[in-house]
Amino acid sequence: MASPAIHQAITEAAAKYRFPEGRVFEYGTAGQPRTANSDLLNTVVFAVGLLAGLRSKKLNGQWIGVMVTASHNPAEDNGVKLVDPMAEWETYATKLANAPLDKVADVYNELIKEIDIKMDNPARVVFARDTRASGSRLVGILNAALSATEVEFMDFKFMTTPQLHYIVRCKNTLGTPYEYGEPTEQGYYEKLGEAFKKVMRSVKVQGHLTVDCANGVGGPKLHELIKYLPSAEQGGIDIKVVNDNVINPDSLNFECGADYVKTKQRAPPSSKAAPLERCASLDGDADRLVYYYIDENNVFRLLDGDRIATLAASFIGDLARNAGIAQKLKIGVIQTAYANGASTDYIEKVLKLPAVCTKTGVKHLHHAAMRYDVGVYFEANGHGTVTFSENALKTIKSAEPQSPAQQQALECLVGLTDLINQAVGDALSDMLLVEAILAHKGWTTKEWLGTYTDLPSRLVRVEVADRSIFKAVDAERKLESPPGLQDKIDALQSRYNKGRSFARASGTEDAVRVYAEAASRSEADDLASRVANAVKEAGSGGDA
């Protein structure tokens, strides 16, 4: 039980908010309630603050992170993510967030009993926010919840989501053999800068890179990171930062950023990049990254998360072989059903690595990646990273090189384990990884694109009356409900050369997403629209 003083403090603090009438909050794909109107979030953020404290107590005072962001979504949206998501805690969060405000303290007490929390344990929380205007108000609410429950906390102000993950990992490993780094923003830049220098010891980046920061928190943070990187003359990267306006809050994710580029399949209209210039886009909280360029025929060429995954897996595989430790490292690539079929083929047939498909949402990919010594995971939209197991770290760090070539490969691998943010997908760290790999391979984006040819694909959003009737199975590649719809999709896709299509309810939007790919653009479009029609019919109660 909470002390009567805490119970009262919670009730008093909660009395300042108004529960949004008729609203039920749910957890989405990213474990993050998000809403188009940030005013509705007050009570959710308050609940998340209470819960973060409980979670920390449950873990004997481990630091828990809370990030206030709505990522790639419009500027007026906001949301909140817990660093260290745990599936069963999502139900607790839902309970707290949906409790009437005068009952929040009672529900808090019920949870203490249900989760069996020792109230004498310390509770520690760190939080940060992206550049959204509503962020400061929401952080104030977090502050109120944490203060009411006497939780120790640190406000890291503006940060990218991966930076906050980094801080949490550093704080929780401090003084252990797995110490991750200095738990400060500067520590983050220093770690990446040092690691990048190590990985780049024998090579040079060719040409320059233009980075579109979605007018989000990634802009100022990239400017900062650049100070810790070797300059172009020293063999480092010549980075041109664009869309780094955080003064005008409405420009966030507006006609720019990784989500715009991936979904619209085009460069931001503001882009001034010349043909063949290497470009990258981050999303609003800098945990997604995509690359692209305009080719000599003025055609837009996208290098998305699938491409980053295949590039990283191929490079790390080569390094492991060159270092003489390939037999000791089990490498796997984790994707979702949205990965282009050509990338999966390339992973299995050319790289000869296992390709695993999980449900959408990085929490699922991350989990699956941890089953490998080196787990490369990326969503097609550009969110991902590489995880190294304890065994991998030990093998890499203790291997005795038998030749200068082996030594070089080992040093590079050691550098990669520091360069890659193993806590979470991190656009800034992933960008340095891609730049380093291209430099090592001596590749331009054109050669990178040439590794395989994407199958034309189409993603369609279908609005239905009730998306909850669409129940997916088999890593969300098949629907078990509504009855009969999957048979229809199967029949449709079998009519197209290399046809593959699936439908699943979005976890973040009130819609069903339909994906289709096939050998040609017209076939992919046709398949997508037919499956979308079947979904629409089934969703309106018609005969599927």
Ligand X SMILES: CC(=O)N[C@H]1[C@@H](OP(=O)(O)O)O[C@H](CO)[C@@H](O)[C@@H]1O
Binding residues for substrate: 379-381, 504-508, 513
Query: Does residue 507 interact with ligand X by CB under 6 A?
Result: yes
What are the structure tokens assigned to 311, written together?
Answer: 């590039």
The answer to whether 71 is a known catalytic residue is yes
Radius of gyration of the chain (CA): 24
Contact residues for 178 (Cβ-Cβ < 8 A; gap 6+): none
Stretch that binds ligand X, among 191-199, 202-210, 323-331, 504-512 (CB under 6 A): 504-512
Query: Does residue 29 interact with ligand X by CB under 6 A?
Result: yes
> What's the CA gap between 281 and 304, in Å, rounded?
10
Contact residues for 55 (Cβ-Cβ < 8 A; gap 6+): 64, 82, 84, 86, 89
Query: Does residue 110 interact with ligand X by CB under 6 A?
Result: no
Query: Does residue 426 interact with Mg ion by CB under 5 A?
Result: no
**Residues in contact with Mg ion, shown as a per-residue x/- string from 58 to 77 under the rule CB under 5 A:** -------------x------
Minimum CB separation of residue 97 from ligand X in Å reads 18
Q: Which is nearer to ligand X, 150 or 509 (CB)?
A: 509
3-class DSSP state of 486: helix
What are the structure tokens assigned to 282, written together?
Answer: 């981050």
Q: In the beta sheet, which residues pair with residue 278?
A: 209
> What's the CA gap between 350 and 329, in Å, rounded?
18
Among 244, 513, 517, 523, binds ligand X (CB under 6 A): 513
Query: Which one of Mg ion, ligand X, none interacts with residue 506, CB within 5 to 8 A by kind?
Result: ligand X
Label the pairing between strands 374-378 and 289-294. unpaired
Stretch that binds ligand X, among 198-206, 250-258, 394-402, 507-515 (CB under 6 A): 507-515
**Residues in contact with ligand X, shown as a per-residue x/- string from 41 to 80 under the rule CB under 6 A:** ------------------------------x---------
Binding-site sequence positions for Mg(2+): 71, 283, 285, 287
Query: Which one of ligand X, Mg ion, none interacts with residue 379, CB within 5 to 8 A by kind?
Result: ligand X
Binding-site sequence positions: 71, 283, 285, 287, 379-381, 504-508, 513
Query: Does residue 485 interact with ligand X by CB under 6 A?
Result: no
Minimum CB separation of residue 530 from ligand X in Å reads 19
| 70 CA to centre of own chain | 12
Minimum CB separation of residue 344 from Mg ion in Å reads 24
Q: Which is nearer to ligand X, 142 or 362 (CB)?
A: 362
Check if the beta carbon of residue 290 is closer than 8 Å to that of residue 302.
yes
Query: Which one of Mg ion, ligand X, none interacts with residue 159, CB within 5 to 8 A by kind?
Result: none
Stretch that binds ligand X, among 128-136, 224-232, 358-366, 432-440 (CB under 6 A): 358-366
Q: Which is nearer to ligand X, 29 or 210 (CB)?
A: 29
* Residues from 304 through 343 that contact ligand X (CB under 6 A): 338
> What's the CA gap between 198 and 211, in Å, rounded?
23
Among 244, 283, 435, 526, binds Mg ion (CB under 5 A): 283
Contact residues for 442 (Cβ-Cβ < 8 A; gap 6+): 206
What are the structure tokens assigned to 446, written together?
Answer: 């054109």
Q: Which of 38, 56, 71, 343 is catalytic?
A: 71
3-class DSSP state of 503: strand
Residue nearest to Mg ion (CB): 71
> What's the CA gap between 415 and 412, in Å, rounded?
5
Q: For 149-275, where are the alpha helices, taking DSSP H only?
A: 161-173, 185-199, 218-226, 258-264
Name the residue among 219, 239, 220 with its Cα closest to residue 229.
239
* Cα four-point dihedral sign 130, 377, 169, 415: negative
Check if the beta carbon of residue 516 is closer than 8 Å to that of residue 340.
no
**How many positions of this chain bind ligand X (CB under 6 A)?**
14
Residues that bind Mg ion (CB under 5 A): 71, 283, 285, 287
Binding residues (CB under 6 A) for ligand X: these are 29-30, 71, 338, 360-362, 379, 381, 506-509, 513
Just list the catalytic residues. Answer: 71
